[in-house]
Structure 1
Amino acid sequence: MDDEPSAPAESIRFDRVELRRWHMNDLDALDRATTESLDTLLPWMVWAAGHNRQATADFLARTHDDWETGEAFGYAITSGGAVIGSCGLHRRIGAGGLEIGYWIHPRWTGQGLVTMAAAALAGQGFRLPGVDRVEIHHDAANTASGAVPFRLGFTEVERFHVPGGPAAPGEVGIDVVWRMTVDQWHAAQPVSRPTRAAGQA
């Protein structure tokens, strides 16, 4: 369709979270949030073991480039203006698909905020041309991560042993794949859909 956007909104509000596109001036806030979250990130995120300020700057630069090429759309998860985590849509599961990734500061867990962020991303993803499915992947041992797609009505479609075994210390090397199709998303008719923030077209 001619009115389909080529990229998601740069700022999205959903319930108690606001997602906004990462920018280089987020370096201090992201570096601080990541450093304070390392105890919960290290078991699951391979990149966390190499975290430092330069790695954070490199991430922000890469996120900018990926957005411009359409390979990925990375967002800060914020609440009350504070950066409390990171999430994004990634074109790494084949044509027609987007994968959602996320993490949140441990101080903000247990409030449903990641679920809100993932719902916002799914809604935006299905607005993009050619997208017929959105997936969430996680290690089988990471039950907290798996609770997000379950709550949103995703369907578990596959479990497989990762070639080479676990990559992070908390993992068991079994990848769990959850999927939501565009037809399932629209049929669910969520009460609250992600919207562009004020000032967005």
Structure 2
Amino acid sequence: MDLPQPVIDLDDLTLRRFEEADLPEFLRVIDESLEHLAPWMAWTTEHTPERTAEFLARRGEKWESGQAYSYAIVLDGAIVGAIELFRGEGAPDNSREIGYWLHPAATGRGLVTRAARAVAAQAFRLPEVDWVEIVHDPANLASGAVPARLGFTVHLRRPAERHAPAETGEDQVWRLTRARACAD
């Protein structure tokens, strides 16, 4: 099985596998981003240094098993966010999902769009993957702009399992198929 690349260089932007040694910097970036993320990301209510350490400690095992490929988004040598390609809970084996977030000082520059484009390409390196999805709350217009720019199409809306304070309680699911990605 082909695995996604552990480091993806995009000129001034780098995506690289998380390491346990990233903990101090990653904690700082999360802490500085909590106010920005809390309206949209339910996990922020449970954020603790211990949970983040546990998250990083499991990245190697998840990578090797194919369950999740987690990348630090690095700009000018500093972590500014995270992006992950993962197999959603209960999702078919032939699909993957992309999730992402950025430090508020790094938003509005197309960084997540560039990162998501690169991660979607990595998803299609996996021979079993037929489609990739990006899921967000419909009220989160910034998150929804990313799949729209990348040629994903709206697939469906469904009730959200968890939601954060600004969210509507629905998930907007965007999908990019292998056939469409290869045609572009």
TM-score (norm 1): 0.87
Q: Tell me if structure 2 keeps the 8 A contact 1:139–1:174.
A: yes
- Whether 1:170 aligns to 2:166 is yes
Moved more, 30-39 or 89-98: 89-98
- Whether 1:75 aligns to 2:49 is no
- Which runs of 4 or more aligned residues in structure 1 lie more than 4 Å from their structure 2 counterparts after TM superposition? none
Per the alignment, residue 136 of structure 2 pairs with 138
1:167 deviation in Å? 2.2
- Whether 1:37 aligns to 2:33 is yes
1:64 deviation in Å? 2.2
Alignment of 1:101-116 (within 5 A): 101-116=99-114
What's the secondary structure of 2:79's corresponding residue?
strand
Q: Distance in 2 between matches of 1:186 and 1:169?
A: 38
Read off the aligned partner of 1:26 and give its amino acid letter.
D
Q: Tell me if structure 2 keeps the 8 A contact 1:46–1:167.
A: yes
Return the index of the structure with the highest Cα Rg. Answer: 1
Read off the aligned partner of 2:157 and give its amino acid letter.
R
- Whether 1:10 aligns to 2:15 is no
- 1:150-187: CA deviation from partner (whole Å, max 9, x where unpaired): 01111011112235xx5211110111010111111111
Query: How many residues are aligned here?
Result: 182
Q: Distance in 1 between matches of 2:145 and 2:128?
A: 27
Per the alignment, residue 124 of structure 2 pairs with 126
Read off the aligned partner of 1:126 and give its amino acid letter.
F
Q: Distance in 2 between matches of 1:115 and 1:137?
A: 14
Q: Tell me if structure 2 keeps the 8 A contact 1:15–1:116.
A: no
Read off the aligned partner of 1:148 and give its amino acid letter.
V
What's the secondary structure of 1:85's corresponding residue?
strand
Q: Distance in 1 between matches of 2:173 and 2:11?
A: 26
> Gapped runs of 5+ residues in structure 2?
none
What's the secondary structure of 1:172's corresponding residue?
coil
Q: Distance in 1 between matches of 2:180 and 2:43?
A: 33
Alignment of 1:39-58 (within 5 A): 39-58=35-54
Q: Percent identity?
A: 49
> Gapped runs of 5+ residues in structure 1?
189-201
1:15 deviation in Å? 4.3
TM-score (norm 2): 0.95
Per the alignment, residue 196 of structure 1 pairs with none
Alignment of 1:54-65 (within 5 A): 54-65=50-61
What's the secondary structure of 1:37's corresponding residue?
helix
Q: Tell me if structure 2 keeps the 8 A contact 1:140–1:173.
A: no
1:102 deviation in Å? 0.2
